[in-house]
């Protein structure tokens, strides 16, 4: 039987529930060019935990799963509802752009769907090559 993201989501959801961490939202996105997926777990209880504690809980659940289920996971990102709101708001404009609003306008033009909301995509940095 082929593993799908529903199995991983169910394992994380049930495992967190058993550990007293009710999940507000849990979903995934594909990793391009692979069969792997990135998983996002949103829970209010994460606010009382450090990032390391959050990861420890999530990976302890995943480590209880068969190898083929774990192999599907590229990344697990634990977030609180407040952290999701900050991500959705995007970066603050640079000081020089505040009067014109150009940074905000640019951010609105370059968006992608992340965690179910619009979030800015930062363009890749251009590197100069020595001649």
pLDDT digits (tens, 9 = 90+) for 8-57: 999 999 999 999 999 999 989 999 999 999 999 999 999 999 999 999 99
Give the pLDDT score at 113.
Answer: 39
Task: Collapse the DSSP code of 120 into the 3-class scheme (helix H, G, I; strand E, B; otherwise coil) and give the result.
Answer: strand
Q: What percent of the chain has pLDDT over 70?
A: 63
Cβ neighbours for 71, distance < 8 A, ≥ 6 positions apart:
3, 36
- Token pair 């995509």: residue: 121
Closest to 15 measured CA to CA, from 36, 41, 35: 41
Band the pLDDT of 121: cuts 50, 70, 90.
Answer: very low
The percent helix, strand, coil of the chain (3-state, each to 5) is: 45, 20, 35
> Within a domain: residue 97?
yes
Domain span including residue 102: 90-120
d(CA 2, CA 66): 12
94 and 68 within one domain:
no
The H-assigned helical ranges of the chain are 5-18, 51-63, 67-70, 81-89, 102-109
Would the pTM count as exceeding 0.75? no
Residue 11 tokens, joined: 């394992």
Mean pLDDT to the nearest integer, 97-120? 45
DSSP 96: G
CB 43 within 8 A of CB 80: yes
Q: Say how far apart CA 114 and CA 127 lie, in whole Å.
A: 27
Whether residues 76 and 97 share a domain: the answer is: no
Q: What is the CATH number of the domain that holds 46?
A: 3.30.300.90
Answer whether residue 128 is part of any domain.
no
Please give the tally of structural domains in the chain: 2
Neighbours of 101 (CB within 10 A): 11
């Amino acid at each position: 039987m082929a593993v799908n993201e529903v199995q991983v989501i169910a394992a994380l959801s049930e495992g967190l529930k058993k550990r007293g961490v009710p999940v507000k939202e849990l979903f995934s996105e594909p990793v391009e060019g692979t069969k792997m997926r990135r998983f996002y777990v949103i829970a209010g209880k994460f606010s009382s935990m450090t990032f390391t504690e959050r990861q420890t809980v999530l990976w302890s659940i995943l480590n209880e799963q068969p190898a083929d289920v774990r192999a599907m996971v590229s990344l697990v990102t634990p977030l609180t509802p407040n952290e999701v709101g900050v991500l959705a708001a995007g970066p603050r404009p640079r000081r020089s752009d505040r009067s014109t609003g150009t940074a905000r306008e640019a951010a609105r033009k370059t968006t992608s769907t992340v965690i179910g909301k619009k979030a800015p995509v930062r363009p890749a940095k251009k590197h100069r090559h020595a001649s």
